[in-house]
A and B are shown apart, each in its own frame.
Chain A
Amino acid sequence: MELLIDGLIGGLILGGLYALIALGLNLQFGVAKMLNLTHGEFIMFFALATYSFYTVFQINPLLSLILSGPLAFLLGFVLYKALFQKLQIRSASLDRLAASTLLASFGLSFIIQNVGLLIWGGDIKRYVYLATPVNILGFSYMLNRFVVFVVAVCLSIAIYLFLRKTMFGTAIRASSSDIIGAYAVGINVKKIQTISFALGAGVAGMAGVLVSMMFAMEPLMGIPYTLMALIIIVIGGAGNFLGSLAAGFTVGAVEGVGGNLLGPALRLVLIYALLVVILLLKPKGLFGGK
Chain B
Amino acid sequence: MAERKKWIGVTLIAVLIVVLILLPQVVTPYYVSLLISIFMYLALAFSWTFFSGTTGYISLAAAAFFGIGIYTMTIWGHILSIPVTIALAGLFGFIFSLIIGAATLRLKGFYFVIFTFGLSELLKQTVKWYETDVLHLTGRWVQAGPLSGQDVYYLLLPLAALVFLVHWITQTKLPFGYALRAIGQDEEAARCMGINTTKVKVIAFVISSTFMAVTGAVITLRWIYVDPFIAFNPNVSFMVVAMSMLGGVAKPYGPLFGVIPLVLISEFLGLVYPRHFMIILGAVYVAVTYFLESGITGLPALLAKKRFSSKWFSPGKEA
Contact = CB atoms under 8 A, between A and B. Distances in A.
Interface residues of B, number: 44
A104 B318 contact: no
A104 B285 contact: yes
B285 A265 contact: no
Interface residues of A, number: 44
A113 B275 CA distance: 12
Contact of A280 (B104, B245, B287, B288): B104
Interface of A: 29, 35, 83, 86-87, 90, 92, 94-96, 98-104, 106-111, 113-115, 118, 227, 230-231, 234, 238, 263, 265-266, 268-269, 272-273, 275-276, 279-280, 283
Given A102-B113, A268-B125, A111 B118 contact: no
A263 B289 CA distance: 41
Contacts of B148: none
Given A108-B282, A230-B114, A266-B129, 5 more contacts: A98-B109, A98-B113, A114-B275, A118-B275, A275-B114
Contact of B119 (A107, A234, A269, A276): A276
Interface in B278-299: 278-279, 281-290, 293
A68 B153 CA distance: 53
A99 B285 contact: no
B290 A269 contact: no
A272 B118 contact: yes
Contacts of A35: 110, 113
B111 A234 contact: yes
A114 B278 CA distance: 7
Given A110-B282, A268-B125, A234 B114 contact: yes
Q: Which 9 A-B pairs have the closest CB atoms?
A: A107-B285, A110-B282, A95-B109, A272-B122, A111-B282, A104-B289, A107-B282, A107-B286, A275-B118
Interface in B114-138: 114-115, 118-119, 121-122, 125-126, 128-129, 132-133
Nearest to A227: B121
A231 B235 CA distance: 19
Q: By DSSP majority rule, is chain A's interface helix, strand, loop, or mixed?
A: helix
Q: Which residue of B106, B110, B132, B133 has the most chain A CB atoms within 10 A of its CB atom? A: B110
B110 A269 contact: no
Q: Which residue of B129, B279, B289, B316 has the most chain A CB atoms within 10 A of its CB atom? A: B289
A265 B276 CA distance: 33
B207 interface: no
B238 interface: yes
Q: Which residue of A35, A263, A265 has the most chain B CB atoms within 10 A of its CB atom? A: A265
Contact of B121 (A83, A104, A272): A272
A106 B285 contact: yes
Interface in B239-285: 241-242, 245, 275-276, 278-279, 281-285
Contacts of A111: 278-279, 282-283, 286
Contact of A96 (B56, B106, B279): B56
Contact of B288 (A29, A103, A231, A279): A103
B19 interface: no
B108 interface: yes
A107 B283 contact: yes
